[in-house]
Amino acid sequence: MTPLLILSPLILLAALGAVWLARPVHAALLLALALALTAVFYLTIGADFIGLVQFMVYVGAIAVLIVFSLLITRPGDEAEELARRPRSLVTGLACTLPVLAVLLYSVSRSGTAESGAADSPAFTLEQLGTALFTTHVPAVMAVGVLLTAVMIGAALFARGAHASSVSRYASCVTEATIKPPTLSDP
Amino acid sequence: MTPLALLLTLSSLLFTLGLLAVLTRRNAILILVGIELMLNAANINFIAFWRYGPPDPDLTGPLFVLFSIAIAAAEAAVGLAIILMVFRHTRSTDLNRLDSLHG
């Protein structure tokens, strides 16, 4: 319970920064911090493997991917973002506060359903692997197909950009070579 | 407040923050940040119900989180690839400028 009380405000603060900060790189880094704190929370609660996977995939892959995309794309206009904020914030809060109210109401209603199994043992990796590769084989195969499709799709995007830049370069080169050389020598 | 209620409150707040980011941000990459926050809130819910809910020998919660993380990674990769393609065409990731289909 104590790590939970310490980690929850930190996760919320990091997420608030990720939502609030106008500079995109700061927001992305605070998202990485929130995800890493969630991974630490999984480690303290007994879900070691899930915490490590969260750390590797979320922090190591997704957050780094987002930061790199921010570096590749042009940084947005922060002054424009800040000037637009009050109006969009009113609309956003008007839409999200009812959602939050409904969620918190249902949480307060369902709080009595707890079984009190506070000492439920953590699972071993063997249990998880056995469950994953005996009863959930179709799901594992579906995820494998999904990841393969995503990999091919991302490679096609990257290759398309490369091919177009190469063809542009090739057309420049052919224009330059087709043009007859000017005689500069006397 | 029981740990389960505390965790559900935490994930509700995280989900709301992610939704707020999706609704108020204009940079497409920062909208993806909000989507990641919402998915993370859902994962916290799965783990909370596995840990503090009724005993579950089938490990449904952790298995669901594993698949959810895999799908979130795929979604982020495809989303960022699409955003980079859009950036290559329009030289901007501001969604307000993507109005060429506007009637």
| DSSP letter for each residue of A53-76 | HIIIIIIIIIIHHHHHHHHHSPPP
Phi, psi of A138 (to 5 degrees): -60, -40
> Confidence band (pLDDT; 50, 70, 90) for A114?
low
Answer yes or no: is B79 within a domain: yes
CA of A180, closest CA in chain B: separation in Å?
Answer: 34
Q: Which residue of B has its CA nearest to A102?
A: B12
User: Are A117 and B52 an interchain contact pair (Cβ–Cβ within 8 Å)?
Assistant: yes
Answer yes or no: is B30 within a domain: yes
User: Are A118 and B71 an interchain contact pair (Cβ–Cβ within 8 Å)?
Assistant: no
Q: Which single residue is written with the structure tokens 């929850």?
A: A8
> Confidence band (pLDDT; 50, 70, 90) for B101?
confident
B21 contacts chain A (CB < 8 A): yes
Answer yes or no: is B23 within a domain: yes
Low-confidence winner among A105-119, B3-17, B39-53, B76-90 (lowest mean pLDDT): A105-119
What is the dihedral sign for C-alpha A16, A27, A50, A7?
A: negative
Answer yes or no: is B60 within a domain: yes
pLDDT score at A122? 74
Q: CB-CB: which of A34, A107, A147 is closest to B9? A: A107
Percent of chain A with pLDDT over 70: 77
User: Are A70 and B29 an interchain contact pair (Cβ–Cβ within 8 Å)?
Assistant: yes
pLDDT digits (tens, 9 = 90+) for A126-168: 888 888 899 899 999 999 999 999 999 988 886 765 555 555 5
Domain of B56, CATH number, reads: 1.10.287.3510
What is the dihedral sign for C-alpha A5, B51, B39, A87?
A: negative
User: Are B67 and A16 an interchain contact pair (Cβ–Cβ within 8 Å)?
Assistant: no
Q: State which residues form the domain around B29.
A: 3-95
Q: CB-CB: which of A58, A99, A131 is closest to B58? A: A131
Q: Is it true that domain A1-77 has CATH number 1.20.120.1200?
A: yes
Report how far residue A36's alpha carbon sits from residue A7's, in angstroms, rounded to the nearest whole number.
Answer: 11
User: Are B76 and A66 an interchain contact pair (Cβ–Cβ within 8 Å)?
Assistant: yes
Rounded to two decimals, the ipTM of the complex is 0.91
Q: Give contacts of A47 with chain B, Cβ < 8 Å.
A: 47, 50-51, 62, 65
Q: Give contacts of B43 with chain A, Cβ < 8 Å.
A: 38, 54
pLDDT score at A79? 74
Average of pLDDT values for B25-29?
87
Q: CB-CB: which of A45, A65, A107 is closest to B12? A: A107
Average of pLDDT values for A59-68?
91
Q: For the CA atoms of B45, B50, B52, B56, what is the dihedral angle to 10 degrees?
A: 150
Phi, psi of B27 (to 5 degrees): -75, 130
B53 contacts chain A (CB < 8 A): yes
Answer yes or no: is B101 within a domain: no
DSSP SS3 for A139: helix
In total, how many domains does chain B have?
Answer: 1
Ranges of each domain in chain A? 1-77, 124-180
Query: Can you give the pTM of this predicted structure?
Result: 0.84
